[in-house]
């Protein structure tokens, strides 16, 4: 039986509530799901198509999921929907390891970002913070590499994530690192904080468009 503390944490967690079907905003509806994971539009997504792939269990990061075949399959299905709607996209994770971490800006539930973007995102992120050290590795090795430490991980595509992801172990946490990289690149540096700038209408449009795409894909298979 789950402890009282864990149950209280889950009751406060936005992603746990969404995963359980407790939707309070129309853009929070689940777009795709399996027994263990779900996809949802990102609040604060200043780029249309910004999607999150989340766990249903309440954990802090995805380090153990990257070696899971079911997760890999689901990620591919979500990626197909995003790419069919929006074309090329990049992926990244702020791998936190403690509640209220600055690395995740207080988002204490594992999720990966899929963001429509054309170009070398890894190069842009490296240039954004030239003092940060990066290594190229497979996402399947991240749990061993991080060894309980916080990490940043990014790739220019889902395929690159499993073969040539860029990983940085976090020594000095910075809030919303990848969001700031993207916001700076597209001229929205002052609006990078999702708590202050939720871009709700853009999130709704993304949710509507992806939901329609998923329905179309399911109909084609059927």
What are the two backbone dihedrals, phi and then psi, of residue 31, each rounded to the nearest 5 degrees? -90, -40
The DSSP code for 193 is -
Provide the 8-state DSSP code for 74: H
Cα gap 44→3, rounded to integer Å? 32
Tens digits of residue pLDDT in 191-205: 999 999 999 999 999
Angle in degrees, CA 100, 13, 95, rounded to 5: 45
**Cα distances (angstroms) measured from residue 113 to each of 50, 158, 222:** 7, 11, 29
pLDDT at 10: 55
In whole angstroms, give the CA distance from residue 168 to residue 18.
Answer: 30
Q: What does pTM read for this prediction?
A: 0.93
pLDDT one-digit tens code per residue, 141-151: 999 999 999 99
Contact 43, 199 (CB under 8 A): yes
pLDDT band at 217 (very low <50, low <70, confident <90, very high): confident
Among 3.30.428.10, 3.30.2090.10, 1.20.140.10, 3.90.1150.10, name the CATH number for the domain at 4-221. Answer: 3.30.428.10
Residue 155 has phi, psi (to 5 degrees) of -155, 155
Cβ neighbour number for residue 86 with a 10 Å cutoff:
22
Query: Are 15 and 24 within 8 A, CB to CB?
Result: no
């Amino acid at each position: 039986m789950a402890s009282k503390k864990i149950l209280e944490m889950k009751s406060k967690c936005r992603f746990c509530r969404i995963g359980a079907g407790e939707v309070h905003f129309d853009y929070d509806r689940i777009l795709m799901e399996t027994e263990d994971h779900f996809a949802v539009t990102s609040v604060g997504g200043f780029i249309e198509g910004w999607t999150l792939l989340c766990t249903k269990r309440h954990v802090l990061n995805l380090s153990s999921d990257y070696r899971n075949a079911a997760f890999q399959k689901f990620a591919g299905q979500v990626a197909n929907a995003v790419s069919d709607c929006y074309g090329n996209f990049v992926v990244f994770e702020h791998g936190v390891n403690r509640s209220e971490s600055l690395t995740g800006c207080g988002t204490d539930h594992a999720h990966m970002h899929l963001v429509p973007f054309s170009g070398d995102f890894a190069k842009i992120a490296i240039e954004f913070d030239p003092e940060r050290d990066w290594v190229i590795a497979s996402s399947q090795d991240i749990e061993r590499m991080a060894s309980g430490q916080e990490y940043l991980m990014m790739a220019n595509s889902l395929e690159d994530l499993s073969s040539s992801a860029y990983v940085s172990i976090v020594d000095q946490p910075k809030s919303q690192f990848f969001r700031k990289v993207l916001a700076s690149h597209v001229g929205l540096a002052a609006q990078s904080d999702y708590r202050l700038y939720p871009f709700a209408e853009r999130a709704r449009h993304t949710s509507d468009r992806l939901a329609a795409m998923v329905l179309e894909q399911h109909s084609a298979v059927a």
